Amino acid sequence: MTTTTPVGAEATTEYRWRWLALAALLTGEAMNLLDSTIVQVAAPVMHARLGGSAADVQWFSSAYTLPFALLLVTGGRLGDIAGRRRIFRVGVAVFMTASLGCALAPSAGVLIGLRAVQGCGAALIIPQTIGLIKTMFKGPEVAKALGSIGPVMGLAAVSGPILGAVLTHANLFGTSWRAVFLVNVPLSLLVLAVSPTLMENRAPRRPEIDPVGTLLAMAGVGLIVYPLITVGTGALSAGAWAAVAVGLVLLAVFALHQRRAAAAGRHPLVEVSLLRDRTFPAALLTSTLFFATTTGLTLVIVLELQMGLGEGVLTAGLTLVPWSVGLGVASWIAGARLVGRYGHRLTTVGLVIMLVGLLAALAVYHQASTTGYPRALPVALGVVGIGVGLFSPAFFTTGLHGVRPQEIGSAAGLLNAVQQLGATLGVAVLGSVYFLSAEAGHPETALHAVQVVFVLAAALTALCLPTSALMVRSGQHAEEAA
């Protein structure tokens, strides 16, 4: 006698597998955010154990975010061509292998090289998520599944500094900072084990890859970023300035190449139609300034605490927790309730609150001594985090407001790419400003250096106010009010 499974039971099983697959996608995304925040906290310890130049501390972060930024759009197109599930799994495998290599790295140079490979893996993972979610879920479930991304990313942002500090401080089995990379291995294996439940999906029309545009963009940005980081070690030279000049020329050639590719009917790396008016370029500029400020600033805070005041990695990680908690809570409230009601105006509120927090932190540092921990600093950083959390959901909603349906994929990918590029530039510029102003073995210069960085961060945040205002189209405020 044979039995058949009731349709209702089959539907329940399929429903559970879909949400399990969603958990795998979200874990893949969260690993990438965790990896950025964990490494920032542990970077001074890595430098102390591996040696090398002061610029290596910045490269531990930048070597990851730079290829991540420049390959995001290409990674999305590879998913369109070869299948999003396939490319997602390849990305996770690359990320896991590179993470294991980072944990075993014998020198700073090897670690930096493997961090770049990690960034390439991340660029294959992240662009596939939204397409796979839309393939697996239908109707109201799509919004519910997409809505889970924000809270998970908020949790990852909160957990990153704590996890990085605890793992490094615990020194489990003598692993020290190496544990922050080893944690990616079991997570990646879990994601790969569940990934067969993902539904394969690819674009109905096979898009083209723009290898020339990708190489031009990578070479141009790389030649600009490298001297900005090395200047922190006093290594700026005529050759470094020449590299910056060549990088700018290559970016100009890249822009010309993109326009010619679009005019010839090919698929450029950047959709030229997105630049047809001021709104989306203003969003790109705002994103660069904003994420350069937040990412570069968190690195400098950690550097000052560990290398300036001599505090431990656990203290540095816990100091950033109020920032992360404020960001996570404010982002959730903004996305759930405030963005729909106030629209773009929330970006202004977020930036103003962030400015208040930055000025409060500057006042804390001004009153601090060169030997004592600035006890009011976490409170000020919590205010900064609230501002960041209010700004981010409103920014992305406004940035994509006027984008046409056929441009959404490219626009979202470009905004994410510029976010990572801004993070790279922030680490390069703010980190170099700190190292230029601080002298080894002189706590008073380190204290002065962090104040200089906070003044620069406040200026960059203030600059985001007019650039974000340019993101709003005519009549959009009236539309939001309605």
Q: Classify domain 276-482 at the CATH class level.
A: mainly alpha
pLDDT average, residue stretch 1-28:
69
**Predicted confidence band at 4 (pLDDT cuts at 50, 70, 90)?**
very low
> What's the pLDDT tens digit per position in 342-351?
888 999 999 9
| pLDDT at residue 59 tops 80 | yes
Looking at residue 1, what is its pLDDT? 41
Average pLDDT for the chain: 84
If one compares 118 and 13, the residue with the highest pLDDT of the two is: 118
Q: Which of 62-71, 185-194, 471-480 has the lowest mean pLDDT?
A: 471-480
Looking at residue 440, what is its pLDDT? 61
| pLDDT at residue 127 tops 60 | yes
Between CA 275 and CA 282 the distance in angstroms is 10
CATH superfamily, region 16-199 = MFS general substrate transporter like domains (1.20.1250.20)
If one compares 11 and 362, the residue with the highest pLDDT of the two is: 362
Between CA 271 and CA 373 the distance in angstroms is 49
Between CA 116 and CA 135 the distance in angstroms is 30
**Residue-wise over 120-154: b if at least 16 C-beta within 10 A, else e?**
bbbbbbbbbbbbbbebbbeeeeeeebeebbbebbb
Looking at residue 475, what is its pLDDT? 47
Looking at residue 446, what is its pLDDT? 85
> What's the pLDDT tens digit per position in 397-436?
888 777 775 666 667 778 888 888 888 889 888 988 898 8
Looking at residue 453, what is its pLDDT? 95
With contact defined as beta carbons under 8 Å apart, do 317 and 146 qualify?
A: no
Looking at residue 3, what is its pLDDT? 42
- Contacts of residue 103, defined as CB under 8 A and 6 or more positions apart, other chains included, come to 175, 178, 179, 181, 182, 185
**Predicted confidence band at 285 (pLDDT cuts at 50, 70, 90)?**
very high
Residue ranges per domain, the chain? Answer: 16-199, 211-268, 276-482
Q: Please name the residue that has the structure tokens 């976490």.
A: 378
Between CA 397 and CA 146 the distance in angstroms is 14
**Predicted confidence band at 5 (pLDDT cuts at 50, 70, 90)?**
very low
Do 16-199 and 276-482 share a fold? yes
| pLDDT at residue 186 tops 70 | yes
Looking at residue 229, what is its pLDDT? 78
**Predicted confidence band at 476 (pLDDT cuts at 50, 70, 90)?**
low
> What's the pLDDT tens digit per position in 130-154?
778 877 877 777 767 766 776 677 6
> What's the pLDDT tens digit per position in 187-243?
999 999 998 888 887 766 676 778 888 889 888 888 888 887 776 656 567 787 888
| pLDDT at residue 120 tops 50 | yes
Highest mean pLDDT among 288-292, 351-355, 430-434: 351-355
| % the chain with pLDDT above 90 | 30
| pLDDT at residue 310 tops 90 | no
pLDDT average, residue stretch 92-98:
96
- Contacts of residue 412, defined as CB under 8 A and 6 or more positions apart, other chains included, come to 130, 400
Looking at residue 2, what is its pLDDT? 42
Looking at residue 12, what is its pLDDT? 65
> What's the pLDDT tens digit per position in 247-279?
999 989 998 998 888 888 787 877 777 777 788
